[in-house]
Amino acid sequence: MDKVIIKCPAKINLSLDVVGKRQDGYHLVKMIMQSISLFDDVTVEKNGGGIRLYCKNKDVPDNEDNIAYRAAKLIIDRFNIDGGVDIFIEKRIPVAAGLAGGSTDAAGVIKAMNRIFDLGMDRDEMMELGLKLGADVPFCIMGGTALAEGIGEVLTPLKPFEAWCVVAKPNISVSTKEVYRSLRLDEITRHPETTRIIDYMERGNIEGVAENMVNVLETVTIKRHPVIFEIKNIMMEFHALGSLMSGSGPTVFGLFKDKGKAEICYNRLRDYLKEVYLVRTFNGEV
């Protein structure tokens, strides 16, 4: 097998808490991660040597700045692979959006190269390797529903959670690093009750989850981009059970039990924004 196509799902955070800071500056988090059915298609094909990356989206770098490129390099070096790969990224996940678009592409490259070069890595080994590229990569390799602690790499799988989501990205970009840098831990007024949310998730109680979702990074990003607050309000007006910013933003999602209601909200937001998606939580194998 010389070529593999991997479907790489985006993620949202059903809650995001920051509980401390490590000596090296990394923040300690407690987040509920959920894959959604919004995918990049990543194709990896063997070539004679070197790494080439192709992506039509102009905001996506085609060199070492691309985390998917770095994933290929890491594997070639680690396994002394004689030869290289062409990587084609069909980008559907909005860029710099808080949806782990880059991390999921990197996870896809690791899975693809594991197969085409017959490297024999099991999931834990791929996750360990992925962590060298970024804190969200191990979750992207695992996928589904999970609690992420540490800097995001200590993962506990959770029972699959089923819901409809409307995902909307305003036309602004946010730097994750910048948002964390501006966060003042002692100024966080409301932390999520993570255990309580997980309890609702395990009982399939979407209302309970939706009403308790909190992202402590919202205040930082909303202060700079009030449009995030406006989108949250529109989602609530259009019967979302709850609405939250994902990751460091600026993407907002609304949670729904009912597909019809989600469709109405989706259609309304499309009048305002270009990047709006109607998706489901995704717990399948990719």
Residues annotated within the binding site for ATP are: 94-104
Helix%, strand%, coil% for the chain, nearest 5? 35, 30, 35
User: Residues comprising the binding site?
Assistant: 94-104
What is the spatial distance between Cα 220 and Cα 56, in angstroms, rounded to a whole number?
32
Closest CA to 53 of 89, 7, 79, 78: 89
Q: Which residues lie near ligand ATP (CB under 6 A)?
A: 59-61, 65-68, 89, 95-103, 105, 136, 176, 247-248
Residues in CB range of 170: below 8 A, 6 or more apart: 225, 227, 228, 231, 250, 252, 273
Q: Which is nearer to ligand ATP, 36 or 96 (CB)?
A: 96
- From the candidates 40, 111, 136, 169, which is the catalytic residue? 136
- The tokens describing 255, both together, are 């949670």
Question: In whole angstroms, how close is the CB of 86 to ligand ATP at the nearest point?
Answer: 15
Question: In whole angstroms, how close is the CB of 275 to ligand ATP at the nearest point?
Answer: 12
Q: Which is nearer to ligand ATP, 238 or 277 (CB)?
A: 277
What is the spatial distance between Cα 45 and Cα 62, in angstroms, rounded to a whole number?
16
Q: Which is nearer to ligand ATP, 179 or 235 (CB)?
A: 179
Question: In whole angstroms, how close is the CB of 67 to ligand ATP at the nearest point?
Answer: 4
**Nearest residue to ligand ATP on Cβ basis:** 102
Q: Is 177 a catalytic residue?
A: no
Q: Is 56 a catalytic residue?
A: no
- What is the three-class DSSP state of 107? helix
Q: How far is the CA of 240 from the CAs of 144, 252, 256, 261, 265, in angstroms? A: 22, 12, 6, 8, 8
Question: In whole angstroms, how close is the CB of 133 to ligand ATP at the nearest point?
Answer: 10
Q: Which is nearer to ligand ATP, 37 or 176 (CB)?
A: 176
Residues marked as catalytic: 11, 136
